Structure 1
Amino acid sequence: MRGRMWWGFALSVLSLLVLLSVGIAAAAETIKIGVIAPFKTPSGESLLNGAKMAVDEINASGGIMGKKVELITANTEYKPQVGATAYKKLVIEDKCQVVFGTCSSGVAKSVMDQMGRYKVLFISTGAASEALADQYKSDKEKYKYWFRVMHQSGDLIDALQQFMWELPIQKMGAKKMAIMAENALWTRDMVKAAEEFFKQKGVETVYSEFFDGETKDFTPVFTKIMNAKADYIYEISAHVDGALYIKQWYDLKGPMIGGVSGTGASDRYWKDSGGKAVGETLVAMGSFRVPLTPKSVEFFDKYKQLFNEAPGYTSGYTYDALYIYKNAVEKAKTSDSAKLVPVLEKTDQVGVVGRWVFDDLHNAKYGPGYRELPMVQWREDGSRQVVWPANVATGEYMLPPWMKK
């Protein structure tokens, strides 16, 4: 009896060891990639879709170094602490070798604190604030695992200021500007820069205020703007659903409006706004059907076929980021974060958004030869036309319907 019990125990242990070795071998043949995003939001779903599209393509072509890529996602809920916890779970429990994403600079900043502790790559594809680069600069050794595959607030500032100067101000004669921005980390420098730019150009800023992210009724905001006789509204939002305020702008027949809207980059925005976004002009942020690179239009068409909507602002960035990571791993012949840092720093490749080269703060370079941020305008039929810059424009800049006469 004792002999049989001993052999039973021995066989159980042996079986367990076999299963464990099989599991370890399977894990060794897999590269786990984590993606964090605010689920069930236009920006978050666009980010997740971009990641899924890239992973499916990579796996179909043989994976990374012959290893299958496993995608594991986690919800940030647009909350810094939730995002930080999501990163920790992906790294500690799920054993992810890299984490991509987040659509919030506040969340990204919180994640970077955890990244500095756990030393696993965090490639940001949806957070624009310069505060992230400042954090890296404060301790380059601690935060070296962070890279930004996306625009910065400064890139948006450059593009939007040039657009507003050339079209609303010079062509359409706007002389009084209003600035309405959500109260968030990434918007502060943009507002300050806009106020200084308008002053320098001799254009009057008649309204400039931040609105709370929980605001539902924007009538008081637009009433102040219209009472101030503003000719143009410079909108700056990402976390707030722009469809909420654009419907009220339309109903009040406000002045020209445009700028940046995270939700406004999505196809569903037209339906969400009830068709009232007509005349609104928004920065495309790398995910519109414009030949920014030889890969851009093909990516746009395939994405729309797969997900039945146009890419959002985070889609192209996240898609490109996964290919940047893939190429780095294959060059370094390892997925070890510390060994990948110097390889990523030497990145120079063309994606669907533009040419990706990192500066000494791990930001992606912007400007001629790197990336462009075109402006697109919603039309009465629900389509969008590129109206700026002239070299990629597909249509003329138009006034809102009630202003055309």
Structure 2
Amino acid sequence: MTEHEGHQTGIRTRSSVRRLDRRTLLKTTTGAVAGVSLSGCLSSYETMVGRSDEDESVTIGVLAPDPDSDYIGRSIVQAAEVAVEELNDNGGIDGQEVDAVVGDTNGSPLEARRQYQRLVLEEGADVTVGVFASEALMNIMDDIAEQETIHLTSGAATTAASGLVNDEYDRYKYHFRVGPNNDSDLGQMQIDFIDEMGPELGWESVALLAEDYQWTEKPWEVYQEQLASTGVETAMEERYSPATGDFSDLYDEAEAEGADAVFITTAHTGNEALLDWSYPNRPEPQPQPRPFAFGGIHVPMQLPAYYDMVGGACRYGFGQSSATATSSITDRTQDFVTAYQDAYGGSNPVYTGYHTYDAVMLFAEVVEEAGTLDADELVSQIESVSFTGAAGTAEFHDPSHEFAHDLVYRKEDTLYFQWQENEDGEGVQEVIWPEEQATADYVTPPWLE
């Protein structure tokens, strides 16, 4: 046995004993309990208040990239903070106070694994939530299985994780994706949007662009299989290099082929793609406006502060998101938005925030219903749950499904927004689809009218 294996075995045994004690406490303790306050827990992302094995509280482990500086990571942490405060204000989980410990993954798969192990083995997390990058999630899947501790993903979209659950259920069953929808469903969202909105907006043909990363492979497959069925033609299609910094040639081709809209799938190259399209925000010499609409799965455009970040260049751009500050997907959506704004000076969460809040509240609900923290019992409980959260209704594919334990795609809970400007000159993410969720009509860029 190596030194590493011996170390892991010793800690894992200690963690298992601790979980057993906690299950007993949940069943026998009914009075008020002592615990660490949320504000104290989350005052530092690395150094947390220590806890003994006898602490009668439920611990949420939160995995987030660069929460001090990254909007997506910060939303994960702050949404967990909002959820924990709400739970404690309402008696905790099954009478137990709730606390949270945070692991900064630093955008690194290796650091994600180190932080996961710290949260579970050293901090005694009863559940972990979060993770943004698909590579980070895949690098902790074996640890999730080894520790037999439920993980509720609230950022990564790869179907590779659900594939493991399907292939080796008994080993990987502890993973569930509360959001976003997986990468295959992201492609389906694009098709559904084009199918319904394309004819209404007069889009007869579209150009499909996707950055050549692994996460875009599944959406691209869906585009190839289903776009023709929408009646909207494909003017051009290209999976472009992640090193692309100038989109002029791609846009020249889209223009030459007569595309009415460019549908892009991008996370890493979104800023360059937007700025090369946006009018009048492109560099001198001032070119003519690009004669097509622009949007799709554009991760940077999902950021609530993006309008100010790019000086309004995203105006008229459209994009997919799980929720926005203007949306009312369920009765809980605006309650969460208000609580988040009140806690953080009026700022709004990005999509990872909605899903993280839902992950914590879903976990609380199933623990209350099951009366235990036993992971195997909770797996069965989560598999059958229908949970109404801030981002919609969370239900999960069963173990026999190819996307086992992934969030079930519900078109009615899917949002497309457009960046528009209000009367005060502020950028607003107005929901434009589906119709029952819309807060505004799509505005055609003035140079296309």
Contact conserved, 1:32 with 1:70, CA < 8 A, in 2? yes
- Given the alignment, which residue of 186, 202, 205 partners 1:173? 202
SS of corresponding position for 1:142: helix
1:127 CA drift (Å): 1.6
After superposition, the C-alpha distances for 1:98-133 in whole angstroms (9 at most, x for unaligned) are 111111222212211221222221111112222221
CA displacement, residues 340-369 of structure 1 (integer Å, 9 cap, x when unaligned): 21122222221122222222021222326x
Paired position in structure 2 for 1:37: 64
The answer to whether the aligner puts 1:248 opposite 2:248 as a matched pair is no
Q: Equivalent residue for 1:292?
A: 329
| Structure 2 CA distance for partners of 1:52 and 1:221, relative to 1, 3 Å | farther
The corresponding residue for 1:334 is 372
Question: Offset of 1:68 from its aligned partner?
Answer: 2.3
Query: What aligned pairs does 1:244-323 form with structure 2 within 5 A after superposition?
Result: 244-250=272-278, 251=282, 253-254=289-290, 255-307=292-344, 308-323=346-361
Gaps of 5+ in 1: 1-22
8 Å CA contact 2:244–2:269 kept in 1: the answer is: no
Q: Which runs of 5+ in 2 are unaligned?
A: 1-49, 399-403
Matched, 1:164 2:194: yes
Partner residue of 2:419 out of 370, 378, 386: 378
Aligned counterpart, 1:356:
394
CA 231–318 in structure 1, closer or farther in 2 if over 3 Å, else same: same
User: Aligned residue for 1:183?
Assistant: 212
Shift of 1:193: 1.2
Q: CA deviation at 1:159?
A: 2.8
> Can you list the C-alpha shifts for 1:159-194, whole angstroms capped at 9, x where unaligned?
322222222x31233233222223333311111211
The answer to whether the 8 Å contact 2:51/2:123 transfers is no
Change (3 A) 1:85 1:330: same
The 1-side partners of 2:201 and 2:299 are apart by 25
Q: Which moved more, 1:174-183 or 1:275-284?
A: 174-183
Q: Deviations over 1:309-359 (max 9, x none)?
A: 222111111101101111122222222323321122222221122222222
Q: Distance in 1 between matches of 2:362 and 2:228?
A: 40
Contact 2:264 2:297 in 1 (8 A): yes
Secondary structure of 1:193's match?
A: helix
Residues 19-30 of structure 1 mapped to structure 2, 5 A cutoff: 27-30=54-57
Is 1:137 the counterpart of 2:166? The answer is: yes
Q: Which residue of 1 aligns with 2:103?
A: 74
Assess if the C-alpha contact under 8 Å between 2:183 and 2:215 holds in 1. Answer: yes
Secondary structure, counterpart of 2:171 in structure 1 = coil
**Deviation (angstroms), 1:377:** 0.7
Q: Point out the more displaced range, 202-211 or 128-137.
A: 202-211
- The alignment yields a C-alpha RMSD, in angstroms, of 2.3
Residue 183 of structure 2 is aligned with which of 144, 147, 153? 153
Residues in 2 aligned to 1:68 and 1:216: alpha-carbon distance in whole angstroms: 49
Deviation at 1:281, TM superposition (A): 0.9
**Alignment-derived partner of residue 4 in structure 1:** none
Match of 2:440 among 372, 395, 399: 395
Task: Give TM-score scaled by structure 2 length.
Answer: 0.78
Q: Which amino acid aligns with 2:273?
A: Y
CA distance in 2 between counterparts of 1:243 and 1:115 reads 34
1:25/1:202 CA distance change after superposition, 3 Å: closer
For 1:331 and 1:318, locate their aligned partners in 2 and report how far apart those are by CA, in whole Å: 20
How many angstroms does 1:214 deviate by?
5.4
| Contact 1:247/1:274 (<8 A) preserved | no
Q: What secondary structure does 1:317 align onto?
A: helix
What's the CA shift for 1:246?
1.3
- Please state whether the residue corresponding to 2:157 is helix, strand or coil: coil
Give the structure 2 partner of residue 366 of structure 1.
409
Pairwise CA distance, 1:35? 1.0
Indicate the structure (1 or 2) with the bigger Cα radius of gyration: 1
Cα shift at 1:195: 2.7
Comparing 34-43 with 73-82, greater Cα deviation is found at: 73-82
Q: How many pairs does the alignment contain?
A: 378
Q: How does 1:93-112 map onto structure 2 within 5 Å? A: 93-112=122-141
C-alpha separation in 1, matches of 2:210 and 2:347: 27
Q: Could you tell me whether the CA contact under 8 Å between 1:386 and 1:392 is conserved in 2?
A: yes
Q: State the secondary structure of the residue aligned to 1:192.
A: helix
1:58 correspondence with 2:96: no
Indicate if the aligned counterparts of 2:110 and 2:139 stay in contact, CA closer than 8 A.
yes
Q: Which amino acid aligns with 1:378?
A: W
Shift of the alpha carbon at 1:215?
A: 4.5
Residues 397, 28 of structure 1: CA spacing in aligned structure 2 closer, same or farther, 3 A cutoff? same
